């Protein structure tokens, strides 16, 4: 029999992708719902879905802050969540740069933006 520590399960979650045990509170003091290491999440908001959500896009707020867009691998629902100071910067930047690295039109035409 496993005794669940109610404080542990309330304060942390286990990443559905990489297994990291993550504090539900981000360093900024905000609640968080994605893993800071692999940036994956779980579809729990207003739903019984519970499936894995993958990070697919970086959105930018008016104040310049980055938001992370997740897509549910089962129901395709999209969600938007703030990033945290300890989120994996390499994955974030890679995702932000990706459209520019794979443009559907030649970027050279815009050399003088």
Partner 1 sequence: MPRRHPVRGVPQRAKDKRRDNPGDAFRCVGCRLDVPFHAPGTAHRNHCPNCLTSLHVDGRIPGDRRARCRGRMVALSLSVRPDGEWMIIHSCLACDELSANRVAGDDNALVLLRMALRPFGARLPQRALLAL
Of residues 68-87, those binding partner 1 (CB under 8 A): 69, 71, 75-80
Residue 16 or 67 having the CB closest to partner 1:
67
Q: How far apart are CA 21 and CA 36, in angstroms?
A: 10
Which residues, 50 to 89, sit near Zn ion by CB under 5 A? 51, 72, 74-75, 77
Q: What is the CB neighbour count within 10 angstroms for residue 7?
A: 8
Number of other CB atoms surrounding residue 108 within 10 Å = 7
Q: Segment 9-38, which members bind Zn ion (CB under 5 A)?
A: 15, 17-18, 20, 35, 37-38
Taking CB under 8 A as the rule, does residue 96 contact partner 1? yes
- How are the residues of the chain apportioned to helix, strand and coil, as percentages rounded to the nearest 5? 20, 30, 50
* Phi, psi of 13, deg, nearest 5: -140, 160
Residues of this chain that interact with Zn ion (CB under 5 A) are 15, 17-18, 20, 35, 37-38, 43, 49, 51, 72, 74-75, 77
Q: Where do contacts with partner 1 occur on this chain (CB under 8 A)?
A: 56-60, 64, 66, 69, 71, 75-80, 96-111, 113
């Amino acid at each position: 029999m496993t005794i669940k520590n109610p404080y542990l399960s309330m304060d942390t979650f286990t990443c559905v992708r990489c297994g990291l045990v993550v504090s539900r509170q981000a360093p900024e003091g905000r609640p968080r719902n994605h893993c800071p290491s692999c940036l994956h999440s779980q579809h729990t908001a207003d739903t019984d879905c519970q499936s894995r959500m993958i990070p697919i896009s970086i959105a930018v707020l008016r104040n310049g802050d980055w938001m992370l867009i997740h897509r549910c691998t089962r129901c395709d629902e999209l969600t938007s969540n703030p990033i945290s100071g300890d989120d994996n910067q390499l994955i974030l930047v890679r995702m932000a740069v990706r459209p520019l690295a794979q443009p559907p039109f030649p970027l050279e035409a815009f050399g003088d933006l």
